Amino acid sequence: MKENRRQVWGLIAPTLFLMIFIGVIPVIYVIYLSAFKYNVFAKVPFRYIGFNNFRKLVFDTDFLKSLRLGLTFVALCCGIELPLGLLIANLLTMNFKGKGIFRTIMTLPLAMAPISIGSIWVLITNPDFGPLPFLFRKIGVEYNMGINANQAFFTTVLVDIWHWTPFVVLTFMAGLTSLPNQPFEAALVDGANRWQTFRYVTIPLLKPVILTTLFIRVMDTFRIFDEVWMLTSGGPGTATRYVSIHLVRLVLQSMEYGYSSAMSLFLLYLTIIICFLLLTFISSSREAA
């Protein structure tokens, strides 16, 4: 038995060691740094200030604005992607030839580097030669993401929809194909029409999958960085400055490591709380089902 325990620790030790080094120590370091005013260019570069960083954070209008913007982005993206994905998934689980090809096509955006997706959309939306501004000009709308804040915001939403709807489709497809047959037969016998079957049989059965997908999408859109960074870098002005972008810009431009750490810590805890709440909600609804 003793031999056994030694073997177990021997197997896990390298993983444990590495995860402590890159997973635990940085978090402790962030907590430590958040209590200091740490700016390499200041007269006193490293000074203990207690909770003052957090006090500053709560009244930082730029940060609060980016938080609000990020949450709007999350709501908009998820609100469009999930219904759209559900429709497409329903379509692709129908019986027709060649649907495998469409599924393969849907996989493509998921495996691509987010940064190259950003660069693709830079090419699409370029005001000089991009097809999107060209189409908009045809209907008499001047489209320039570098100037118009609203257009920039909706372009990032569009890019996110393009990138992640396939994810929603694939998870819903897997969910739909694993549903039991009996309830559908019963609905058919009872004379339910297509819409009634969908509304009162498919949706309730699919609820756990829908909630899990929603959870993953909420977390992913909340922390979005690469695509938006490549596309707009948070601009024009602060129109697309979502939380991750705001934080990175703060670190790169102001070099305020202490204050950035406080903001990081706040975001980390916000993520964990949202994560925990959604997971509890999901598991309780699974038990109810």
Name the minimum Å distance from CB 186 to other proteins: 21
User: Phi-psi category of 46—alpha, beta or left, where left has phi over 0 and alpha has psi -120 to 50?
Assistant: beta
Nearest to 233 by CA among 119, 62, 77, 142: 119
Name the minimum Å distance from CB 250 to other proteins: 10
Q: Hunting for tokens 């202490």 — which residue is that?
A: 258
Question: For residues 240-269, which are near other proteins according to CB under 8 A?
Answer: 243-245, 247-248, 251, 257, 260-261, 264-265, 267-268
27 binds other proteins (CB under 8 A): yes
Given the rule CB under 8 A, which of 54-62, 103-111, 144-152, 196-204 is the region that contacts other proteins? 103-111
| Angle, in degrees to the nearest 10, between helices 243-254 and 61-92 | 140
Member of 29, 51, 200, 281 binding other proteins (CB under 8 A): 29
For residues 206 and 213, give the distance between their C-alpha atoms in angstroms, rounded to a whole number: 11
Member of 77, 89, 106, 228 binding other proteins (CB under 8 A): 106
Question: For residues 145-184, which are near other proteins according to CB under 8 A?
Answer: 162, 166-167, 170-171, 174-175, 178
Instruction: Write out the two tokens for 289.
Output: 């089902």
288 binds other proteins (CB under 8 A): no
Amino acid, res. 237:
G
The Cβ of residue 99 has, within 10 Å, a number of other Cβ atoms equal to: 14
**Which H or E run includes 215?**
helix 203-222
Task: Write the CA distances from 34 to 29, 42, 64, 88, 194, integer angstroms.
Answer: 9, 16, 18, 46, 56
Q: Is the peptide bond before 180 cis (omega within 30 degrees of 0)?
A: no
Given the rule CB under 8 A, which of 54-62, 84-92, 149-157, 185-193 is the region that contacts other proteins? 84-92
117 touches 163 (CB < 8 A): yes
281 touches 211 (CB < 8 A): yes
273 binds other proteins (CB under 8 A): no
Nearer to other proteins, 115 or 186 (CB): 115
Member of 88, 89, 152, 205 binding other proteins (CB under 8 A): 88
Residue 197-236 contact track with other proteins, rule CB under 8 A, x = bound = ------------x--xx--x--xx-xx-xx--xx------
For residues 39 and 257, give the distance between their C-alpha atoms in angstroms, rounded to a whole number: 6
Name the minimum Å distance from CB 218 to other proteins: 9
Interface with other proteins: number of residues (CB under 8 A)? 89
Name the minimum Å distance from CB 50 to other proteins: 19
Question: For residues 43-82, which are near other proteins according to CB under 8 A?
Answer: none
